[in-house]
Amino acid sequence: MPQPDKPSVGLIGLGNLGTAIANLVTTNCCAVIGWEYDAAVVDEINSQHTNQRFLPGISLDHSLRATTDVSQVFGGTEIVFLAIPARFIRPTVQTVVDAGLVSPDTVIVNMAKGIDAETGLTAFQTTEMLFPANPCVMLSGPSIASEFAHGMPTIVVLAGSRDADLMRVSRVLDTRHFRTRFSHDTVGVELGGLLKNIYAIGLGLFDGQGITSLNFRAVYLTIALEEMTRLGVAMGAEAKTFAYLAGMGDLLATSLSGQSHNRHLGELLSQGRDLAAIQQEMGVLPEGYGTLRIALNLAEKLYVSLPLARGLWDVINGRIDADRFIFSFIRDFVED
């Protein structure tokens, strides 16, 4: 049962991660109401206490409520989590912002990892612009939803300007198997969660080519982390952030996960499939694709060299095949 001294919590986006976090918080302490665009998902959560589309095999706490009315999520809630793609944040919450339905005391926690192609803003930058009067917190780190939803342990990072805000959020999240750490480097924590999706595509290329060498993967991921750090520092992040949970931790979790959509994109590319065919099969291209394009543009402006990322872009756009990328990587980074 929700404890009277604990805040009520709202959540925007009952997909894979959103549903897992909503269930975690509900089970842990608090009354949670979550918004989802898909009315069928909302009905299933309320009536059957499952979400087979996004989080199959998990029985949800009966106290978790779902709605298609976004205004209900901001009515009296003290913490609101955002778990939708970056491009949907503004159109989803703009009406409640314009209507003045958001209390300035509500902590807004962004879990989205993407860049809005129209504005060029990251999800956290979009969040801060939409909620300028609110404390905003970034959540990232190794958080494969289907794992912690089954009680498997993990630790994530909460980043924000004030420890008091981070503490408020940690109180509703911390359990025996799900723990949080604090950071003031919101730029680095967000970029770690963004950029790792790019390099997970490369692991998929290796899978599609049947390359299982642990030595090779270790070299690739090490150099990938170096590129992430180089670009992150150029954008104002702290280098040490990338050596911790929101950088290396998230890169390893996503790249090595068999459930990663970005890794699956790489597998399909290695089979010679073009983007149109892949998008038709997957429904929507993973975040890593759009992030890669924007990251290369930023790297060019900031004079940052990203040879791995550039090679992945050439494979995606058919300039080179996966086999050539892999062996160019061996020649350029291993043999030298």
Band (193; pLDDT cuts 50, 70, 90) = very high
The pLDDT value recorded for residue 4 is: 46
- The arithmetic mean of pLDDT across residues 39-50, rounded, is 98
Q: How far apart are CA 135 and CA 209, in angstroms?
A: 46
The pLDDT value recorded for residue 165 is: 98
6, 196, 240, 301: the catalytic one is 196
pLDDT at 335 over 60: no
- The arithmetic mean of pLDDT across residues 218-224, rounded, is 92
The pLDDT value recorded for residue 272 is: 85
- The arithmetic mean of pLDDT across residues 218-229, rounded, is 94
- The arithmetic mean of pLDDT across residues 255-266, rounded, is 90
The pLDDT value recorded for residue 259 is: 84
The per-residue pLDDT for range 275-285, each reduced to its tens digit, is: 889 988 988 88
The per-residue pLDDT for range 17-43, each reduced to its tens digit, is: 999 999 999 999 999 999 999 999 999
pLDDT at 7 over 70: no
The per-residue pLDDT for range 91-144, each reduced to its tens digit, is: 999 999 999 999 999 999 999 988 877 777 889 999 999 999 999 999 999 999
161, 251 Cβ separation under 8 angstroms = no
The pLDDT value recorded for residue 270 is: 87
The pLDDT value recorded for residue 1 is: 42
Q: How far apart are CA 162 and CA 176, in angstroms?
A: 25
The pLDDT value recorded for residue 333 is: 60
The pLDDT value recorded for residue 85 is: 87
Band (6; pLDDT cuts 50, 70, 90) = low
142, 253 Cβ separation under 8 angstroms = yes
Give the single-character DSSP code of 8.
P
Would you call 113 a catalytic residue per the annotation?
Answer: no
3-state DSSP assignment of residue 168: helix
H-run or E-run covering 110:
strand 107-110
Who wins on pLDDT, 190 or 329? Answer: 190
Please tell me whether the overall predicted TM-score, pTM, comes out greater than 0.85 for this model.
Answer: yes
Q: How far apart are CA 41 and CA 36, in angstroms?
A: 7
Q: How far apart are CA 48 and CA 323, in angstroms?
A: 47
Q: Which residue has the tokens 């291209």?
A: 285
- The arithmetic mean of pLDDT across residues 331-336, rounded, is 58
77 half-sphere exposure, CB direction, 13 A CA radius: 27
pLDDT at 302 over 70: yes
- The arithmetic mean of pLDDT across residues 282-299, rounded, is 90
Who wins on pLDDT, 178 or 213? Answer: 178
Structure-token pair, residue 250: 């998230």
The pLDDT value recorded for residue 285 is: 86
Cβ neighbourhood burial of 301 (10 Å; 0-12, 13-18, 19+)? exposed
